[in-house]
A and B are shown apart, each in its own frame.
Chain A
Amino acid sequence: MGWFLTAILVAATGMIPAVPAARADGGVVRIRQAAGPFEVTVFTSPTPLRAGPVDISVMVGNRARDQPVLDAEVSILVVSLDGASSISADAIRENATNKLLYAALLELPHSGRWRLGVGVRHDGNTAEVTTDLSAAPPRPPLLFFWPYLVLPAVAIAMFGLHQWLSARPAVATERQ
């Protein structure tokens, strides 16, 4: 049985890197706006937006041809409205699960109001859209990692139930 448990443990370790976090796969539409020759749609995740890791995904559409533009240069700038912090990143398609989107994973250092600006460059054309965001405080670590923290309690409960069930035929025999 040792090989079986070893195999299960090894398989389980493969699940560890996939801790739920911003995964660069869309989210909620923040703004969808025509800007120059483009239609720019900006998504953010998670919902609600919180300080910490956030995903910003952008879809750039060609308004004339009504189809996505897949070779644009997309840049993102997020500035806190009090001017204290700013973060910038290039959004690339490789970061996105949906390869029609350009995505960047950013780390918002604190909660509060932020201004999001997205710049697009393609074939000599440029465009920019901006919108305001409100980031809630980050989820406490205990809530963020709750599945891992609850795991021992679940295992103990199952084991306790198992031990109780295993002892029941002996109890029934004694009562007879």
Chain B
Amino acid sequence: MIAEAALRSWNIDPWFVVPLCVGAWIYTRGWRQLHRQMPRHFASWRLLAFLSGVGIIFVAIASPLDAFGGLLLHVHMAQHLLLMMVAPPLIWLGQPVVPMLRGMPPPFVKLGLGPFLAWPALRRLGRAVSHPAVCWVAFVAGTWIWHLPALYELALRSPGWHQLEHACFLGTALLFWWPVVQPWPSGPVWPRWTMIPYLVLADVQNTAFSAIFAFAERAIYPVYGTVPRLWGISVLDDQAAAGALMWVPGSVAYVLPIGLLIGEILSPPRQVRPGDVLGPGSDAAWVPGESTPPVAATRSRSVVGHAADRGAWDLLSVPVLGAIVRWRHFRRVAQTVMLLLAAVIVVDGLLGPQMSPMNLAGVLPWTYWRGLVVVTLLVAGNVFCMACPFMVPRDLGRRIFSPRRHWPKPLRSKWLAVGLLVLYLCAYEAFSLWDSPWWTAWIVVGYFAAAFTVDGLFRGASFCKYLCPIGQFNFIHSTVSPLEVKVKAPDVCARCTTHDCIRGNARQRGCELELFQPEKVGNLDCTFCLDCVHACPHANVGVLAVVPGSDLAADPFRSSLRRLSRRTDVAVLVLVLVFGAFANAAGMVTPVLEWQERVAARIGPGMPRWIVSGLIVLSLAVGPVLLAALCAWGGRMLGRVELPQSELFSRFALSLVPLGFSMWLAHFVFHVLAGAGTAIPVIQRVAMDLHVGWLGAPAWGRAAAGSGHDWMLASEILVLDCGLLLTLYIGWRIALSYVRFSGGALCLMIPWAGLAVGLYAVGVWVIFQPMQMRGTMMH
């Protein structure tokens, strides 16, 4: 039973397991390609060696060796031996340099890693670090220093120092074994025979080191005297066993390669056979620092490998899922489901208990729906607009009134939508909509009425395109989605004369939002209705994978939207949504709420709604526009570009979309996770009201907000990190489109970067504050 318990003592830490798995995966990909080209050079045993080395590292860190290392010294030494004597030579025997480079996408290697690999300073560092003398000294120093009692016991007390200790052991051991194994394509700096004294001297120091432990008459590490002695092993016996372990198996680890080296030196030179080399120059030795590894330097297809573009991934071509999404009635089914949910929300909001955690209108839209919208935007695209329940009243209005008028030309912009969005966000706080099922229900009803009226009076999707605040939220944030409805082969569209995607045909209407597919760029104004997919007679429109945010950096002519550099209304819409993300979250944190209470105490009972609304208008519209205008002016001055300020304002504002989206995502998903159980008792309550008792009595304890676990906060920060980095990258690309040299681009971008970093800092501050858990029962 004790042995069984000991064997179950594994510690699988994702922080090291995931990188190990990723490294093994990349190596295996590269090895498979090289094995096809050079089966003798990259034989199967190389793969086995590398994966075994990775596996040994996993065993050393995750197995019971780690759990018992603090109780038994010889177990801890076994762990160190695996990390220093077994894993590194196995890894180098796998000849990992070329397979790792080959296992990554060639553009990433060439454009991403290439500049670093060709950097002279890094080459010099590589030469210095891989020199056998340096490798030997680093290995021995690392071994002795980390086994000094003060440092050893520090590593036992502190997980962070323990991880650093293991990283040092592994790193110095990889250095030590490099000149011994000399993995291809590297070549020796010293003659091969010098590795014999190299290993002999290492064995000598190992012997001295081991003897200290084996023959010491007192405990070198007093900490082992304070812990329980398992299986009756005394401290000194444990210490002697550790010494013996380092001495015998440790010496074998040095002696075995000495024997192999002697055999290698005395053997006749090996004949180079076809399939052993890559091509011209590839049999030249590569010394780290002397030159770029062949796979990064050459443009030869045989090394860089498969460069054929296979075309973007199309969701509609995925078996089963693609067929479901392509099904003509899929959208209507999804809309019907959402319509039923909306009806349930309205009914319960009007007739149910007016306490938001007890009402579907308080829980479903404000806790679950918002989180699901942002998650689906992140992983797919504008799925909510695809399944929008307000399509039903829109279609009804069109059928009843058969509108012929177009939306008024002066209103064909996003300004109305901006106003409605600001109004909605004001009302949300001023009237505490989240806490009022009744108001929530009436908002839903109002939405239906507005959609029915507008699309009953005007042709096209005027409600979606020019008014719907939810739609504008989805349009803007779908610019960072990984999927886009777009043309598969542009040359097919070039030959098309019927333009069914926008005009429609007998069996299918065209795009209501006037997006002409050959000129459509990005997801803006796209509701993912797939009318264009169904209308296209050439099946040339798909739901294709794209790089998130890729169309924010460019300024092409866009169908229906024209150039975004001239669309100040779109830029202001973006600013409202970006600053709205931070203001909405900040409005729920304790310090801000306390400040509101202090102000209210001075003014009078209750914070007057006009003050709240005024603050929101300032923080969402006025303030952001002024800040952005300042950034545009500042960038223009610093970058010395002769461009209209409005153009800089409009283009750089778009770069903030990823950061704003990351704040919405972090905030809403936090509420979903913290309030994950809130819907269950509400559904139970509704069932009881309908005299359906099999769901049981409402378990209101589940409606209590969960505590914010550390991993949730870490996730939020990581999401913000990604948003900030993507925002800065897009801003950089925009700046480079105006100023070719880096210094000028940096000057142009600096004010916007400062704005982004400032928003990021606000976001981090908000994340660390206690937050009002709206829609849940308080503890």
**Residues of A at under 8 Å CB distance from B?**
1-4, 6-8, 11-12, 14-21, 23, 25-29, 32, 39, 41, 45-47, 53, 59, 61, 66-68, 70, 93, 96-100, 141-142, 144-145, 148-149, 151-152, 155-156, 159, 161-168
Q: Which residues of B contact A70 (CB under 8 A)?
A: 1-2, 5
Interface pair B713/A141, CB less than 8 Å apart: yes
Given contacts A11-B21, A15-B15, 13 further A-B contacts (CB under 8 A): A8-B22, A16-B718, A18-B15, A19-B710, A20-B159, A32-B227, A47-B157, A97-B10, A99-B9, A100-B230, A144-B710, A156-B728, A166-B115
Whether A11 contacts B108 in the complex (CB less than 8 A), given A16-B711, A17-B711, A47-B157, comes out as: no
Instruction: Classify the secondary structure of A's interface with B.
Output: mixed
Chain A: minimal CB distance from B664 (Å): 18
Interface pair B18/A149, CB less than 8 Å apart: no
Interface pair B710/A14, CB less than 8 Å apart: no
In this complex, which of A7, A8, A21, A152 has the most chain B Cβ atoms within 10 angstroms of its Cβ?
Answer: A152
Interface pair A164/B108, CB less than 8 Å apart: no
Interface pair A165/B6, CB less than 8 Å apart: no
B11 within 8 A of A: yes
10 A-B pairs closest in CB distance: A165-B115, A98-B67, A99-B5, A1-B105, A148-B717, A19-B710, A18-B14, A19-B714, A141-B768, A15-B14
Q: Which residues of A contact B10 (CB under 8 A)?
A: 97
A–B pairs, 19, beta carbons within 8 Å: A2-B313, A2-B545, A8-B22, A16-B715, A18-B711, A25-B67, A28-B157, A29-B223, A47-B158, A53-B710, A68-B228, A70-B1, A70-B5, A98-B64, A98-B67, A99-B8, A145-B717, A148-B721, A151-B721
Interface pair A152/B14, CB less than 8 Å apart: no
Q: Which residues of A contact B111 (CB under 8 A)?
A: 166
Chain B: minimal CB distance from A43 (Å): 8
Interface pair A152/B724, CB less than 8 Å apart: yes
Whole-angstrom CA separation of A11 from B455 in the bound complex: 45
Whether A162 contacts B711 in the complex (CB less than 8 A), given A14-B14, A25-B11, comes out as: no
Chain B: minimal CB distance from A48 (Å): 9
B70 within 8 A of A: yes
| A163 touches which of B64, B718, B742 (Cβ 8 Å) | B742
Interface pair A156/B725, CB less than 8 Å apart: yes
Interface pair B160/A162, CB less than 8 Å apart: no
| B227 touches which of A1, A41, A161 (Cβ 8 Å) | A41
Q: Which residues of A contact B160 (CB under 8 A)?
A: 20
B689 within 8 A of A: no
Instruction: Classify the secondary structure of B's interface with A.
Output: helix
**Residues of B at under 8 Å CB distance from A?**
1-2, 5-6, 8-11, 13-15, 18, 21-22, 25, 64, 67-68, 70-71, 104-105, 107-108, 111-112, 115-116, 118-119, 157-160, 223, 226-228, 230-232, 313, 482, 545, 547, 710-711, 713-715, 717-718, 721, 724-725, 728-729, 741-742, 760, 764, 768
Interface pair B13/A18, CB less than 8 Å apart: yes
Whole-angstrom CA separation of A4 from B760 in the bound complex: 27
Interface pair B764/A149, CB less than 8 Å apart: yes
Q: Which residues of B contact A156 (CB under 8 A)?
A: 725, 728
Whole-angstrom CA separation of A45 from B64 in the bound complex: 19
Q: Which residue of chain B is the closest to A60 with respect to CB atoms? A: B228
Q: Which residues of B contact A21 (CB under 8 A)?
A: 710
Interface pair B724/A59, CB less than 8 Å apart: no
Whether A93 contacts B5 in the complex (CB less than 8 A), given A17-B14, A19-B711, comes out as: yes
Interface pair B228/A32, CB less than 8 Å apart: yes
Q: Which residue of chain A is the closest to B715 with respect to CB atoms? A: A16
| B232 touches which of A6, A19, A66 (Cβ 8 Å) | A66
| A1 touches which of B11, B108, B717 (Cβ 8 Å) | B108
Q: Which residue of chain A is the closest to B121 with respect to CB atoms? A: A165
Whole-angstrom CA separation of A163 from B760 in the bound complex: 23
Interface pair B717/A149, CB less than 8 Å apart: yes
Interface pair B157/A99, CB less than 8 Å apart: no
Whole-angstrom CA separation of A20 from B226 in the bound complex: 26
Whole-angstrom CA separation of A148 from B713 in the bound complex: 10
| B9 touches which of A15, A27, A100 (Cβ 8 Å) | A100
Whole-angstrom CA separation of A45 from B13 in the bound complex: 17
Q: Which residues of A contact B68 (CB under 8 A)?
A: 98
Interface pair A68/B119, CB less than 8 Å apart: no
Q: Which residues of A contact B5 (CB under 8 A)?
A: 68, 70, 93, 99-100
Q: Which residues of B contact A168 (CB under 8 A)?
A: 115
